[in-house]
Amino acid sequence: MTSIYTNNYSSFGNYNNYQSSHKKKENDAQNLAISAAGLGVASVAIQKLSGVLADKLMQGEEFTTPENITKVADDMLTSNGLQNTVKVGFIDQNNVDKFIRQHGEAWTGSLQTVAEGKNAFYADGLKLAVAPKSKPSLILHELGHAINANKDGLMKVLQKTRGLSTYAPTALLFLAPLFHKKDENNKKNFIKDNAGLLGFAAFLPTIIEEGMASLRGIKAAGQKLGNAVDLKHLKRNYALAWGTYVLAGVGLGIAAKQSVIQEQT
């Protein structure tokens, strides 16, 4: 009698375990769905906020005249031994075709965006720093990148490797299986549990290098122009630009977390 009772109890216990396991899987699936939805909303919000900061940057007042900016730019190149290495250009619709002819059709899109006043960039392969004629102060930031890329040390490493951060979500997916706990009852996984933070960390080199490029431009303007100008607008504009990169880092963290969640579903 006892034996039968024990067997029946055992069967009942197994059924309860099945129900519990099934319920846990349902809860896990619901939690993943909620997390995925929340991350999707956050991603859209970050994109919109980044767009707002970018618009404010391009609409911000210039801190001084184009002539003064050119003086600072020349001084940045000369003082860092780059006057014969890095070329500087201020672009609008009147001269963008000349830059495209000089540097190739592959750069058409990037150069057109600059001509429209929506971007500025430094291309180390071309040794070229360009900014919109409508927003010339951005050139000081781009020359900060040029200095970072052509000087020995940590900043050069960060400048050269910053593009690798885009591979973070994929890399984390490949690495996650290597961090499974041996104990089957312990479902913790360092990569999956911290995918968001790891994704953001992968973008930190870019955030740091961008900040240093801006600081170089601000410092150069202060040294060359002194008290003749107020750097308030320059600092504000560069802070807005840096903010877009911080948001991009958060966005990469979200993308990394999303990739892990999708892999679990």
Domain ranges, ordered by start, for the chain? 32-264
Rounded mean pLDDT, 9-31: 42
Distance CA 69, CA 146 (A): 16
pLDDT at position 168 = 65
The more confident residue out of 151 and 179 is 151
Evaluate if residue 49 carries a pLDDT over 70: yes
pLDDT at position 184 = 52
pLDDT at position 169 = 63
pLDDT at position 158 = 80
Torsion of Cα atoms, 185 then 186 then 192 then 195, to 10°: 160
Say if residues 199 and 168 touch (Cβ distance below 8 Å). yes
Report how far apart, in Å, the C-alpha atoms of 114 and of each of 50, 135, 215, 245 are: 18, 10, 22, 18
18-30 as b/e: b if 16+ CB within 10 A:
eeeeeeeeeeeee
What confidence tens digit (pLDDT) does each residue in 52-101 have? 998 999 889 999 999 999 999 999 999 999 999 999 999 999 999 999 99
pLDDT at position 127 = 96
What are the structure tokens assigned to 59, written together?
Answer: 């609409």
Distance CA 213, CA 145 (A): 5
Q: Which amino acid is at 130?
A: V
Other C-beta atoms closer than 10 Å to the C-beta of 194 total: 18
Please tell me the pTM assigned to this model: 0.78
Rounded mean pLDDT, 186-201: 78
Evaluate if residue 196 carries a pLDDT over 80: yes
pLDDT at position 185 = 54
What confidence tens digit (pLDDT) does each residue in 206-247 have? 999 999 999 999 999 999 999 989 999 999 999 999 999 999
222-236 as b/e: b if 16+ CB within 10 A:
eebbeeebebeebbe
Evaluate if residue 12 carries a pLDDT over 60: no
Distance CA 127, CA 122 (A): 7
Distance CA 189, CA 61 (A): 49
Using a pLDDT cut of 70, give the percent of the chain over it. Answer: 75
Using a pLDDT cut of 90, give the percent of the chain over it. Answer: 52
Report how far apart, in Å, the C-alpha atoms of 19 and of each of 16, 129, 165 are: 5, 64, 43
pLDDT at position 174 = 66
Distance CA 56, CA 59 (A): 5
Rounded mean pLDDT, 154-174: 71
What confidence tens digit (pLDDT) does each residue in 94-132 have? 999 999 999 999 999 999 999 999 999 999 999 999 999
pLDDT bin (cut points 50, 70, 90) of residue 47 is: confident
Walk across the sheet containing 87-91 and list its strands: 87-91, 128-132, 121-123
pLDDT bin (cut points 50, 70, 90) of residue 258 is: confident
pLDDT bin (cut points 50, 70, 90) of residue 46 is: confident
